[in-house]
Amino acid sequence: MSRETRTTPSIRSAKKARAAFRAGDTSPTAGRAEGFTQANLISVPADWAYEMLLFCQRNPKPCPVLDVTDAGSWGTPLAPGADLRTDLPLYRVWEHGELTAEPTDVVDHWRDDLVTFLIGCSFTFEWALADAGVPLRHIEQGRNVPMYVTDRPCRPAGRLHGPMVVSMRPVPPGRLADAIRESSLMPAVHGSPVHCGDPGGLGIEHLGRPDFGDAVALEPDDIPVFWACGVTPQAAVMASRPPFAITHAPGRMFVTDARDEQYRVV
């Protein structure tokens, strides 16, 4: 995964991944179409779209917006030709904050008033961490990154409120500066960490019991480093209970045609 060995990714790999998911593949998207940006998806009725967009603007670290569709549209310039209703591996349908279905497409759940938000994902900066020599423990251990609901409330927007969710990566002390610098250079995909060290500072009691994803073992001396996480809008849906919403299922993101490097400021 170093700069020397990584080949230039072909856009065909992104299109191929979406085609597989459209055809019924429900596997997680981590490692698929490497080099292409994956995004969190959340669709809400137009009546809630302003509050969702304002919530994202007011909480840009957990909710960096990569694109917003026009109401009813299932297309995005981030992946021309893709269908947001079918091209993710797995979706979640929410009614009044309760999970009511987990289908492989949402054609039958679609509504003409749905506005879809594509939110940046920390997968996007992992290649930059790896290139800078930061080990990615969850990948080494074959696990999904662990995510935690914190005790930090997001700044609310109208009816939308909820806690900030974070992802955690263990970082050796000698690599902390690299991890901070590299992620800082990608503010559109969560940017710099929100917290390093004591999980209690975020109200997290047990690192071994994440709220989403898998527990990951720390090596001796590793510092737990916490980045704001794109699951935050889903937590807001659960807390704020809009009448209807669709999201991607955890770990089953939308694979775009955008390249990870595009989101790096220099």
Among 35, 187, 201, 250, which residue interacts with its own copies (rule: CB under 8 A)? 187
DSSP the chain: --TTTPPPPPHHHHHHHHHHHHTT-----TTTTTTEEEEEEEEEEHHHHHHHHHHHHHSTTT--EEEEPPTT----TTSTT--TTTSSS-EEEEETTEEEE--S--TTT--TTEEEEEEE-THHHHHHHHHTT---HHHHTT-PPPEEEEEEEPPPBTTB--EEEEEEEEE-GGGHHHHHHHHHT-GGGT-S-SEES-GGGGT---TTS-SBS---PPPTTPEEEEEE-TTHHHHHHHHH--S-EEEEPTT--EEEEEEGGGG---
Of 65, 130, 238, 239, the residue at the interface with its own copies (CB under 8 A) is 65
| Site membership for its own copies, residue 57 (CB under 8 A) | yes
Between residues 65 and 215, which has the closer beta carbon with respect to its own copies? 65
**CB-wise, 188 or 215, nearer to its own copies?**
188
Residue from 10, 27, 100, 184 touching its own copies (CB under 8 A): that is 184
For residue 6, state whether it binds its own copies (rule: CB under 8 A): no
Candidates 49-57, 98-106, 138-146, 194-202 — which segment interacts with its own copies by CB under 8 A? 49-57
Min. distance of Cβ 65 from its own copies in angstroms? 5
Interface region with its own copies, contact rule CB under 8 A, candidates 17-25, 65-73, 129-137, 208-216: 65-73
* Rounded CA separation 215/129 (Å): 20
Residue 259 CB-density burial (10 A; 0-12 exposed, 13-18 middle, 19+ buried): middle
262 binds its own copies, rule: CB under 8 A: no
Find the binder of its own copies among 53, 79, 202, 255 (CB under 8 A). Answer: 53
Q: Could you count the other beta carbons within 10 Å of the beta carbon of residue 184?
A: 13
238 touching its own copies, by CB under 8 A: no
For the chain, give the number of residues: 266
Binders of its own copies: how many residues, by CB under 8 A? 19
In whole angstroms, the minimum distance from the beta carbon of 249 to its own copies comes to 25
- 192 counts as binding its own copies under rule CB under 8 A: yes
**Nearest distance, CB of residue 48 and its own copies, angstroms:** 11
**Which residue of 191, 193, 230, 233 would you call a contact of its own copies, by CB under 8 A?**
191
User: Which residue in 20, 30, 68, 239 binds its own copies (CB under 8 A)?
Assistant: 68
- Contacts with its own copies by CB under 8 A lie at 49-50, 53-54, 57-58, 65, 68, 70, 158, 181, 184-185, 187-188, 191-192, 265-266
